[in-house]
């Protein structure tokens, strides 16, 4: 944590030059920590507020905190759904942003993007677990994948969520166990999602962001 890096953060304003990763800005939650993590990793990024700004980026992050149904509604209002669904560039959904990739969420009984044929469910109270699932949970890989490049199997990532995407042998990229085995990460074609917060998951999380930026 040298003083140089302080300066670097201050200078790291979003210019039009060197933009690569576009963050879908649809009003779902605070993204300060995400942009700070990208800056720490020297990953160039910009914010996308409208469909017209979409095509100038190489890859996309869909952030999201809060209520999945409300997030979906905001995404609809942003008019970016068609762009997202039709892109062949890499897309990474984080937390609720990942849940948006599924068919349906029990949170608000909301119909979502249906990119992956999966359901987002609430942690069952009968599992005798505490909800929200809060803290560092072990993540185990299901398939070899470039998103988890150089990340040891069984690495801990930081989770905070009450709804989870069910485990699926085809689309689950990595899973976690919390009373129930669920999708910690998923992949369908160019679409990736992580339920944990890479921007808060120490060096392992930063590595995920770095790996995504190099896809």
Any idea what DSSP says for residue 55? G
Among 15, 36, 82, 122, binds other proteins (CB under 8 A): 36
- Token pair 């300060």 in the structure block, residue: 32
For residues 104 and 158, which CB has a smaller minimum distance to other proteins in the complex?
158
3-state secondary structure 99-165: HCCCCEECCCCEECCCCCCCEEEECCHHHCCCCCEEEEEEEEECCCCHHHCCCCCCEEEEEEECEEE
Q: Tell whether residue 42 is a contact of other proteins (CB under 8 A).
A: no
Q: Which 59-88 positions form the footprint of other proteins (CB under 8 A)?
A: 65-67
Q: Tell whether residue 47 is a contact of other proteins (CB under 8 A).
A: no
The CA-based angle 169-106-174, given to 5 degrees, is 25
Catalytic member of 107, 133, 199, 206 = 199
Does residue 197 have an active-site annotation? Answer: yes
Burial class (CB in 10 A: 0-12, 13-18, 19+), 200: middle
For residues 36 and 89, which CB has a smaller minimum distance to other proteins in the complex?
36
Among 143, 166, 190, 215, binds other proteins (CB under 8 A): 143
For residues 117 and 135, which CB has a smaller minimum distance to other proteins in the complex?
135
Q: Would the CA dihedral through 177, 149, 95, 201 be positive or negative?
A: positive
For residues 84 and 208, which CB has a smaller minimum distance to other proteins in the complex?
208
Q: Which 161-190 positions form the footprint of other proteins (CB under 8 A)?
A: 161-162, 167, 169, 175-181
Locate 65 and state its tokens: 């905190």
Q: Tell whether residue 214 is a contact of other proteins (CB under 8 A).
A: no
Strand pairing class (91-94; 59-62): parallel
For residues 49 and 158, which CB has a smaller minimum distance to other proteins in the complex?
158
Q: What residues are labeled active site?
A: 95, 197, 199
Using CB under 8 A, list all residues that contact other proteins. Answer: 1, 5, 9, 30, 32-33, 36-37, 39-40, 65-67, 124-138, 140-145, 148-153, 155-156, 158, 160-162, 167, 169, 175-181, 197, 199-207
């Amino acid at each position: 944590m040298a003083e140089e890096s302080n300066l670097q953060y201050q200078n790291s304003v979003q210019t039009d030059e060197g933009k690569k990763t576009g963050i879908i800005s649809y009003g779902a939650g605070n993204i300060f920590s995400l942009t700070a993590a990208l800056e720490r990793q020297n990953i160039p990024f910009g914010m996308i507020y409208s469909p017209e700004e979409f095509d100038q980026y190489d890859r996309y992050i869909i952030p999201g905190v809060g209520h999945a149904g409300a997030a979906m509604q905001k995404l609809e209002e942003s008019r970016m759904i068609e762009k997202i669904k039709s892109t062949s560039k890499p897309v990474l959904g984080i937390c609720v942003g990942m849940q948006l990739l599924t068919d349906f969420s029990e949170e608000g009984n909301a119909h979502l993007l249906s990119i992956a044929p999966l359901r987002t469910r609430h942690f069952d109270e009968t599992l005798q677990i505490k909800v929200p699932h809060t803290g560092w949970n072990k993540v185990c890989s299901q398939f070899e994948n470039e998103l988890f490049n150089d990340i040891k199997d069984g690495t801990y990532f930081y989770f905070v969520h009450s709804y989870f995407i069910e485990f699926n042998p085809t689309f689950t990229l990595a899973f976690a166990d919390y009373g129930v085995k669920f999708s910690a990460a998923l992949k369908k074609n160019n679409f990736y999602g992580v339920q944990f917060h890479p921007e808060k998951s120490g060096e392992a999380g930063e590595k995920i962001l770095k790996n995504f930026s190099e896809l």
